[in-house]
Amino acid sequence: MDNESSQIDTINIIIAGHIDHGKTTLLYKLSGKWTDTHSEELKRGITIKLGYADTIIYKNGDYNREEKGSPVRHVSFIDAPGHEMLMATMLSGAAIVDAAILVVAANEGIKPQTREHLMALQAKNIKDIIIVQNKIDLVDKITAQKNYENIRREFKGTIAENAPVIPVSAQQGINLERIYEEICKIKTPKRNPKEAPLFLVARSFDINKPGTNPKDLHGTVLGGTLKSGILKVGDRIEIKPGLMIKESNQIKYKTIKTKIASLHKGSRKVEELTPGGSAAIETELDMTLGKTDSFSGCIASSENHLPEISDKIKIKFDLFKEVLGTQTSQQIQPLKTGETIMLSINTSVTVGNIVKIAQNVAEINLRIPVVPLKNSKLGIARNINNHWRLVGYGELI
């Protein structure tokens, strides 16, 4: 990226929606990158892990990514899986974005995960939504119009009530400029570089190729987004809850302290990381520590800034009226003392027991502790017939 494009605003956008409605295909057309790369994803033709791709949108009369005209916006896209069993993954992705594209295939219409993902966006307080009516090449004009009216009717009263609806064929690359245009209309959130740094970790990995000379080995890399503050190469950081360790049959979490070896924003190496966009921190930690996403769900900050981790939290919550992720409609019963629920807080996913409940406030004992940052938005899921279904949302108090 040249100097001119490093000055433009960055926005993080999740691509959400029902399975097979064309999210990964759309991301490929919007960014040029095919993000389904894991062997299981290729074999089954579905997205399993979050996908990441960065694009710069240019404007030359029309919006494009072919470097025609001037750069207007840097977009970090996150591709979410649509499979109903992968709701927790989608929620972690929603934790690191500012806006969303909700894909609805015109030939199938609104399906259970379309609704559930929309509610997940609401739970994570994401208000800027673009609806993509995809696979328009598969339907005739009348069906497309009916599908459009149905989307408008179904989303009335939701956060997507006034969202633009753009007819698209991702496969044939039709109408993508309209999506770029809508993306450029979204106001980027105010980010505060003066606050303490908060880096939400969505994944961690080892970037070394087999057979690398030991002196050239890189440390563990943390992938995610910087919500606030600034991080610089050489800064000392702490990662919480940190590393899971087993001690005499008990599971504990150890805060990890390390130094930043390098910083990356999109595909660009930077000396200083500012908020917004997908980013990666290379640490001085042994590369084996961060393998298999062991740090996903953690928060990194400068040393001694984060609160103590806690396995007891208090939340304020609201429940949705009905269960949205299923084919049949079902009312949501109130939460009960003693009930086990799943919570998605920032990028972490944890399970806990409700120990006390009074109106819309609950106290919960967690199995995996969290960094209890006040006002963190959270999604609440309940196990219904062996699926974790999103039933409500709230925030830490």
Ligand X SMILES: Nc1nc2c(ncn2[C@@H]2O[C@H](COP(=O)(O)OP(=O)(O)OP(=O)(O)O)[C@@H](O)[C@H]2O)c(=O)[nH]1
Q: Which of these segments, 64-72, 115-123, 134-142, 179-187, binds ligand X (CB under 6 A)?
A: 134-142
In the bound state with ligand X, the residue whose beta carbon lies nearer, of 25 and 346, is 25
Residue choice 12, 47, 114, 376 for contact with Mg ion (CB under 5 A): 47
For CA atoms 136, 138, 144, 150, give the dihedral sign: negative
User: In 85-206, where do the E strands start and end?
Assistant: 99-105, 128-134, 165-167, 198-205
87 and 116 Cβ atoms separated by less than 8 Å: yes
The answer to the question of residue 24 lying near ligand X (CB under 6 A) is yes
In the bound state with ligand X, the residue whose beta carbon lies nearer, of 147 and 301, is 147
**CA atoms of 330 and 312, how far apart (whole Å):** 30
In the bound state with Mg ion, the residue whose beta carbon lies nearer, of 23 and 377, is 23
Smallest separation (angstroms) from ligand X to the CB of 105? 7
Smallest separation (angstroms) from Mg ion to the CB of 36? 6
**CA atoms of 29 and 20, how far apart (whole Å):** 16
The answer to the question of residue 170 lying near ligand X (CB under 6 A) is yes
In the bound state with ligand X, the residue whose beta carbon lies nearer, of 174 and 357, is 174
Smallest separation (angstroms) from ligand X to the CB of 294? 24
**CA atoms of 116 and 82, how far apart (whole Å):** 10
Smallest separation (angstroms) from ligand X to the CB of 254? 35
The answer to the question of residue 89 lying near Mg ion (CB under 5 A) is no
In the bound state with Mg ion, the residue whose beta carbon lies nearer, of 48 and 207, is 48
In the bound state with Mg ion, the residue whose beta carbon lies nearer, of 47 and 278, is 47
In the bound state with ligand X, the residue whose beta carbon lies nearer, of 47 and 55, is 47
Q: Which of 266, 31, 25, 14 lies closest to 127 in space, CA to CA?
A: 14
Which amino acid is present at 345? I
Smallest separation (angstroms) from ligand X to the CB of 19? 4
Judged by beta carbon distances under 5 to 8 A according to partner kind, the member of Mg ion, ligand X, none in contact with residue 19 is ligand X
User: In this structure, what are the phi and psi dihedrals at residue 87, rounded to the nearest 5 degrees?
Assistant: -60, -40
Judged by beta carbon distances under 5 to 8 A according to partner kind, the member of Mg ion, ligand X, none in contact with residue 22 is ligand X
351 and 340 Cβ atoms separated by less than 8 Å: yes
Q: Give the torsion through C-alpha atoms of 67, 68, 70, 71, to 10 deg.
A: -30
* 239 DSSP β-pair partners: 256, 300
The answer to the question of residue 94 lying near ligand X (CB under 6 A) is no
Which residues from 5-44 bind Mg ion, rule CB under 5 A?
Answer: 23-24
How many residues are present in the chain? 397
Residue 36-55 contact track with ligand X, rule CB under 6 A, x = bound: ----------xx--------
Judged by beta carbon distances under 5 to 8 A according to partner kind, the member of Mg ion, ligand X, none in contact with residue 138 is ligand X
DSSP3 helix / strand / coil % (the chain, rounded to 5) = 20, 40, 40
> Residues 6 or more apart from 396 whose CB is under 8 A from it?
313, 314, 315, 345, 372, 373, 374, 375, 376, 378
Residue choice 16, 21, 263, 346 for contact with ligand X (CB under 6 A): 21
Tell me the CB-side half-sphere exposure of residue 67, using CA atoms within 13 A. Answer: 5
**CA atoms of 23 and 166, how far apart (whole Å):** 14
In the bound state with ligand X, the residue whose beta carbon lies nearer, of 65 and 135, is 135
Query: Would you state the structure tokens that stand for residue 128, as one six-digit string?
Result: 């800027």
- Contact residues for ligand X (CB under 6 A)? 19-25, 46-47, 81-83, 134-135, 137-138, 169-171
**Site of interaction with Mg ion (CB under 5 A):** 23-24, 47
